[in-house]
Amino acid sequence: MGRMYAIGEMSRITGLSVKALRLYQEKGLLEPSRVDPSSGYRYYTERDIPLAHTLRALRDLRLSLEEIRGVLAELSQGASLAEQLARVRARLAEEAASAQRSVLALDTLLRHQAQAEEYLRAPPPLLEHWLPPVRVAVHRARGRYSDASEVFPRLLATCGPHVAGAPFCLLHEAEYREDDADLSWCVPLAPGATPEGVHVEELPEVQTAVIVHSGPPESVGPSWARLFAHLHAKERTPSIPLRETYLRVATKDGASWLTELALPWVGSGLRNRT
Amino acid sequence: MGRMYAIGEMSRITGLSVKALRLYQEKGLLEPSRVDPSSGYRYYTERDIPLAHTLRALRDLRLSLEEIRGVLAELSQGASLAEQLARVRARLAEEAASAQRSVLALDTLLRHQAQAEEYLRAPPPLLEHWLPPVRVAVHRARGRYSDASEVFPRLLATCGPHVAGAPFCLLHEAEYREDDADLSWCVPLAPGATPEGVHVEELPEVQTAVIVHSGPPESVGPSWARLFAHLHAKERTPSIPLRETYLRVATKDGASWLTELALPWVGSGLRNRT
DNA sequence: TGGCGGTCTCCCCCTGGGGGAGAGTCAAGC
DNA sequence: GCTTGACTCTCCCCCAGGGGGAGACCGCCA
């Protein structure tokens, strides 16, 4: 019988913490070679070291203690590890994929945030461009703009993870109405996503004049007026539906709202996407 | 003031469990619009729904509640989210990478296991081939083979995550010695890995006769004899060091040990790797 | 024999809730 | 108005994988 190691020394040898060693004993994964009955001191020998090292290696591979128990059981019987390890592999692969998906989603979010910051620092001038076609979950109703805080949450809750962009609102009449506007509440969907319990529609592309409005949504009036004046000056005919996209919503600081206003038009323009 | 939702209805609307809603209130993340002072019933309104939805979206992105708290605080002030989200992104990216590394390591392990199974089902015949050069952590000492259970764990513990293959043992004398053999205990290292506190050496490639021995390591004698007899029959001169690679170690079931025996030789062979 | 460092057990803490007990509440039907 | 069934309340224990620390022993060296 060789040298005996107390728990602290064993910890240094194996890289497992003292707490972990005690836990693994309690879980029946790694029993000390001897436990002094009077003092309760745990003593390990060289024979315990390979098992401890295996344990550490598996733990560092992110196996749960339960999975480790299974692997060790099969290992000590010389049985096949393939099935156990394949299960673990599947779990870890899913974990990695999930984290990776989150990273990608966060990147998208960060890009949108960065663009919003950019818009706040230097609001883009009035521009003309084609809005691309987009698949949306849509809820059409008569009502007022301030219903947004009621409608969008429902829509977002229904679409869940299929949401692929900032929500927007279509105004089907050009005249401003306080409380009986004909509105479509829209949420862009990821390609291929098919949420249930909601009407899905494909919006065609459309040529528009666009401006980004900075400030709370009650104050968009003058910005709309600029768009109408612009088209009028170019002898183009405004069309419907108007689109208000809520790029950034602030709850307390009124200054950092961002709304993209897009006014479609018909008339002299030949389609030209440059 | 619009409709009020009790906690169960709110749960259905937002997709957050009742338990979660209560927890988020306790953590100060989502306060119900009204709590009945006499009954303690929580009542939510439409105004609470967007926040709840944001909360759920962030949680589904794997943010911790603490991270969510930070994001919501900045969100409600319209402040920049970039820093917070970048931190979260870094954490998640590391998490994904770590899980991915584990998956790759498990794949390697599974391949080795599969090969070991293969060897157990159909032991490969005696083969001649070149062992490739390999970088190893090495500990040379006089002793006995059964010291393996003492020496390898130390070596593995020292090299930690740099280990890149099955450990093996070099025998620097061709004669069998019970308890005073001149041995090198070796652990292959990953390319570029530089573990501390251990001697690292590059072993040259060498031409060998190889056989895989199935059974406990005490029983390798006859297999070594086969290798020597094979070389003798071909009029080749056995050389040193002999290499015993421990492909698979079983603790209880003596039948599933696997040891690769490699005997280098010099003589008539021209180098030919075909 | 004293001292110092190591070790023991026991308890609470973290995350993000799940499960359930026992008691109180709301709304609808009769 | 009363009953009933569905909700909801608070409170407590549970999961993994340990970390931190309190108070009490233990082992070894001078």
pLDDT given at position B40: 94
Q: Provide mean pLDDT across the span B241-259.
A: 79
Nearest to B99 among A46, A99, A149 (CB): A99
* Separation CA B184–CA A206 (nearest Å): 76
Q: Determine which of B102, B185, B247 to mutate to test the interface with A (most A C-beta atoms within 10 Å).
A: B102
CB distance under 7 Å to strand C: residues: A 6-9, 11, 18, 22, 39-42; B 17, 19-20, 23, 36, 38-39, 41, 59, 64-66
* Separation CA A265–CA B133 (nearest Å): 73
B99·A107 Cβ contact <8 A: no
* pLDDT band, very low/low/confident/very high, at A268 (cuts 50, 70, 90): low
Preceding omega of A241 cis (within 30 degrees of 0): yes
B82·A117 Cβ contact <8 A: yes
Query: Do B110 and A86 form a contact (C-beta atoms < 8 A)?
Result: yes
Nearest chain A residue to B154, by CA: A13
Query: Do A197 and A158 form a contact (C-beta atoms < 8 A)?
Result: yes
- Name the more confident of A103 and A164: A103
* pLDDT band, very low/low/confident/very high, at B178 (cuts 50, 70, 90): confident
pLDDT at B103 over 60: yes
Helix (H), strand (E) at residue A106: helix A82-121
Closest Cα of chain A to B147: distance in Å? 9
* Separation CA B241–CA B265 (nearest Å): 10
Crossing angle, helix A65-76 and helix A49-60, to 10 degrees?
130
Nearest chain B residue to A62, by CA: B102
Three-class SS state of B159? helix
pLDDT given at position B66: 95
**Helical spans, DSSP H, in B186-262:** 221-233
Q: Provide mean pLDDT across the span A63-86.
A: 84
Q: What phi and psi, each to the nearest 5 degrees, are found at residue B140?
A: -100, 135
pLDDT given at position A34: 95
Q: Point out which residues pair with B49 in neighbouring strands.
A: none
Q: Could you report the per-residue pLDDT of B184-214, keeping only the tens digit for each? A: 999 998 888 777 778 999 999 999 999 998 8
A106·B92 Cβ contact <8 A: yes
3-state helix, strand, coil in chain A (%, to 5): 45, 25, 30
B99·A92 Cβ contact <8 A: yes
Query: Do A263 and A227 form a contact (C-beta atoms < 8 A)?
Result: yes
Chain B positions touching A116 (Cβ under 8 A) are: none
pLDDT given at position B156: 72
Query: Do A208 and A139 form a contact (C-beta atoms < 8 A)?
Result: no
pLDDT given at position A36: 95
Three-class SS state of A53? helix
User: Counting beta carbons within 10 angstroms of the beta carbon of residue A37, is it exposed (0 to 12), middle (13 to 18) or buried (19 or more)?
Assistant: exposed
- Name the more confident of B105 and A193: B105
Q: What is the 3-state secondary structure (H, E, C) of chain B?
A: CCCCEEHHHHHHHHCCCHHHHHHHHHCCCCCCCEECCCCCCEEECHHHHHHHHHHHHHHHCCCCHHHHHHHHHHHHCCCCCHHHHHHHHHHHHHHHHHHHHHHHHHHHHHHHHHHHHHHHHCCCCCEEEEECCEEEEEEEEEECHHHHHHHHHHHHHHHHHHECCCCEEEECCCCCCCCCEEEEEEEEECCCCCCCCCEEEEECCEEEEEEEEECCHHHCHHHHHHHHHHHHHCCCEECCCEEEEEEECCCCCHHHCEEEEEEEEECCCCCCCC
Strand D bases, protein C-beta under 7 A: 7-10, 16-20, 25-27
Residues 6+ apart with CB under 8 A from B179: B143, B144
pLDDT given at position B220: 87
Lowest mean pLDDT among A73-77, A242-246, B131-135: A73-77
Radius of gyration (C-alpha) of chain A in whole angstroms: 31
Lowest mean pLDDT among A8-22, A77-91, A227-241: A77-91
- Mean residue pLDDT across chain A: 86
* Separation CA A234–CA A226 (nearest Å): 12
* pLDDT band, very low/low/confident/very high, at B272 (cuts 50, 70, 90): very low
Nearest chain A residue to B117, by CA: A80
For residue A219, give both structure tokens.
Answer: 């104050």
Amino acid at B270: L
Q: Which nucleotide is nearest to B56 (CA to C1')?
A: C16
* CATH class held by domain B5-79: mainly alpha
Query: Do B119 and B214 form a contact (C-beta atoms < 8 A)?
Result: yes
Q: Provide mean pLDDT across the span A66-86.
A: 82
Q: Could you report the per-residue pLDDT of A170-219, keeping only the tens digit for each? A: 999 888 777 788 999 999 988 887 777 789 999 999 999 999 988 887 88
Measured from Cα to the C1' atom, the residue closest to C25 is B39
Place of tokens 């079983």: B250
pLDDT at B180 over 90: no
Q: Point out which residues pair with A193 in neighbouring strands.
A: none
Q: Provide mean pLDDT across the span A15-40.
A: 95
* Separation CA B260–CA B248 (nearest Å): 9
Three-class SS state of B14? helix
Three-class SS state of B173? coil
Query: Do A185 and A143 form a contact (C-beta atoms < 8 A)?
Result: no
Q: Could you report the per-residue pLDDT of B13-40, keeping only the tens digit for each? A: 888 999 999 999 999 999 999 999 999 9
Query: Do B113 and A85 form a contact (C-beta atoms < 8 A)?
Result: yes
Q: Provide mean pLDDT across the span A112-138.
A: 87
B76·A152 Cβ contact <8 A: no
* Separation CA A100–CA A114 (nearest Å): 21
Q: Which CATH number fits domain B123-266: 3.20.80.10, 3.40.50.920, 3.40.50.2020, 3.30.310.50?
A: 3.20.80.10
Crossing angle, helix A7-14 and helix B148-159, to 10 degrees?
60
Highest mean pLDDT among A66-80, A87-101, A208-222, B147-161: A87-101
Q: Could you report the per-residue pLDDT of A145-155, keeping only the tens digit for each? A: 777 777 886 77
